[in-house]
Amino acid sequence: MALQTPPLPLVQVLQRRRDRLAQLHPRPVVLWSGQPVARNFRANTYPFRANSHFLYFTGLTLPRVAIRLDQGQLTLFMDDASPESALWHGPTPTRETIAAEIGAIAAYPYQAVEGYLAEAATLPGQGGHNPDLGPDHSPALVEALVALRLYHDDQALGQIKAAAAVSMAAHRAGMAATPGATTEAQVRAAMEQVIIAQGMTCAYNSIVTVHGEVLHNEQYHHALAPGDLLLADVGAEAPSGWASDITRTWPVSGRFSPAQRDLYDVVLAAHDACIAIAKPGVEYRDLHLLACRTLAAGLVDLGVLRGHPEDLVEHDVHALFFPHGVGHLLGLDVHDMEDLGDAAGYAPGRHRSDRFGLKFLRLDRPLADTMVVTIEPGFYQVPAILGPARQSGQYDETVNWARLADFHGVRGIRIENDVQITPTGCTVLTAALPTQAEALEALVSAA
Ligand SMILES: [Mn+2]
């Protein structure tokens, strides 16, 4: 397990974050990094990933570490490695070394944190790896963490950009590998190879599939056929923990069929429309609805839907083909801070809608400078949605089922970029990876 040694400027960044927390939340706070989870015996663990709230204030990727933050001052709780441990893990930095590196005012053994919990605010069980704290997590702490982590400092933005650069290289490698690949697994391997070789990890389980209609498809065994579209949702995470999240959809053959291209361009229009208006003050929900209307308008133009785009969206007809939200927060986690439920995604007083077209919207607050969000509209033909919809007869006025049949082989398309909100608009952090159909064809065919 590699230890990240923070360079001096990072110490100052971390201190600034702790000071800001103290302003927002004067009470002491205790956070844990977490513990490795055993697979079958204690030494065979799932890959360890430190808790993101802990990472935000420490930059430490080590397991079994706790911190107490009080008025901006950090107390460290961790054990020195036992002498036997060096046999298996090699030498590791001591508690005192790490305390000095991250600017701790004091350092104690791990268990000693138990004596500091009484007055401290903390969080709900972070993946179940913490001491059992019951439900006494602090809503005030959640609010303070959200207020901090929604808006990114330069260090965070730099790390997200570094992760995004590796993700873009991975997608290029995936496109280049496609002509020579016979299975999804081979393309996935080509993509993750780039991420691993850069010393990064995947920010989430990769989706690399010719069945893009299965939204979180994590199988890679399907054969690639020349007429397939391959949907790849693959994102790198920097060693510091900062994430990126990119989706591209490209033709296995290197050429979109006319039907594929028509639908691809509709999804791209929805994506581009959102990027064009994203800026501080704009409601993310309005980006989502703009994507829905653009998609509906495109499907009307293609003869798949009938009616006015506004009405179609009002009645959630678009959601038959675009059943998820247009994106989410991005930061130390993909779907940043969703461990806090909707506390980060939804502005105070707002709650998820029951509507089919809105209930999977993960973000409903105004955009602001230095926020990073994804924009990821899609078009899917999900049998479990379209089958019952057709059976019901409810959509016979608005969906031209006969025309839809012309697109029957187009199962899933998604285009996803990472977008930083700037003072006057936005910057697409993943713009160097093309989204235009011809550009993707060129990248696949160039192999
Ligand atoms: Mn995403």
Mean pLDDT by 10 residues, the chain (447 residues): 57 96 96 93 93 97 96 97 80 92 96 91 62 61 97 97 98 98 98 98 97 90 97 98 98 97 98 98 98 98 98 97 97 95 93 91 97 98 97 97 96 98 98 98 88
Residue 447's pLDDT is 64
Ligand 1 centre distance from Cα of residue 299 (Å): 23
Q: Is 74 helix (H, G, I), strand (E, B) or coil?
A: strand
In angstroms, the CA 38 to CA 231 distance is 32
The CATH superfamily label for domain 154-445 reads: Creatinase/methionine aminopeptidase superfamily (3.90.230.10)
Ligand 1 centre distance from Cα of residue 41 (Å): 33
Residue 8's pLDDT is 44
Ligand 1 centre distance from Cα of residue 438 (Å): 23
Ligand 1 centre distance from Cα of residue 207 (Å): 11
Ligand 1 centre distance from Cα of residue 134 (Å): 31
Residue 131's pLDDT is 47
Q: Which residue has the tokens 């020349």?
A: 226
User: Is the distance from CB of 135 to CB of 124 less than 8 angstroms?
Assistant: yes
Q: Is 99 helix (H, G, I), strand (E, B) or coil?
A: helix
Ligand 1 centre distance from Cα of residue 247 (Å): 8
Ligand 1 centre distance from Cα of residue 416 (Å): 7
Ligand 1 centre distance from Cα of residue 252 (Å): 22
- Per-position DSSP letters for 212-265, written without gaps between them: TTSTT-----PBP-TT-EEEEEE-EE-TTS-B--EEEEEETTSS--HHHHHHHH
Residue 350's pLDDT is 94
Ligand 1 centre distance from Cα of residue 246 (Å): 7
Ligand 1 centre distance from Cα of residue 313 (Å): 22
Residue 128's pLDDT is 44
Ligand 1 centre distance from Cα of residue 248 (Å): 11
In angstroms, the CA 344 to CA 288 distance is 17
Residue 223's pLDDT is 97
Ligand 1 centre distance from Cα of residue 79 (Å): 37
User: Is the distance from CB of 414 to CB of 247 less than 8 angstroms?
Assistant: yes
Residue 23's pLDDT is 98
Ligand 1 centre distance from Cα of residue 376 (Å): 7
List residues bridging with 73 in a β-sheet.
Answer: 70
The count of other CB atoms within 10 Å of the CB of residue 147 is 15
Residue 126's pLDDT is 53
User: Is the distance from CB of 46 to CB of 129 less than 8 angstroms?
Assistant: no
- Per-position DSSP letters for 12-51, written without gaps between them: HHHHHHHHHHHHH--S-EEEE---PPBSSSTTSBPPP---
Ligand 1 centre distance from Cα of residue 222 (Å): 23
Ligand 1 centre distance from Cα of residue 167 (Å): 13
Residue 86's pLDDT is 75
Ligand 1 centre distance from Cα of residue 266 (Å): 19
Q: Where are the domains of the chain?
A: 8-149, 154-445
Ligand 1 centre distance from Cα of residue 336 (Å): 10
Ligand 1 centre distance from Cα of residue 89 (Å): 35
Residue 416: which of 312, 293, 296, 291 has the closest Cα?
291
Ligand 1 centre distance from Cα of residue 426 (Å): 17
Ligand 1 centre distance from Cα of residue 190 (Å): 20
Ligand 1 centre distance from Cα of residue 360 (Å): 13
Ligand 1 centre distance from Cα of residue 157 (Å): 17
Ligand 1 centre distance from Cα of residue 328 (Å): 7
Ligand 1 centre distance from Cα of residue 53 (Å): 20
Helix (H) or strand (E) holding 414: strand 412-414
Domain 8-149 is of which CATH architecture?
A: 3-Layer(aba) Sandwich (3.40)
pTM for this one? 0.94
Residue 390, CB half-sphere, CA atoms under 13 Å: how many?
13
Largest CA distance in the chain: 74
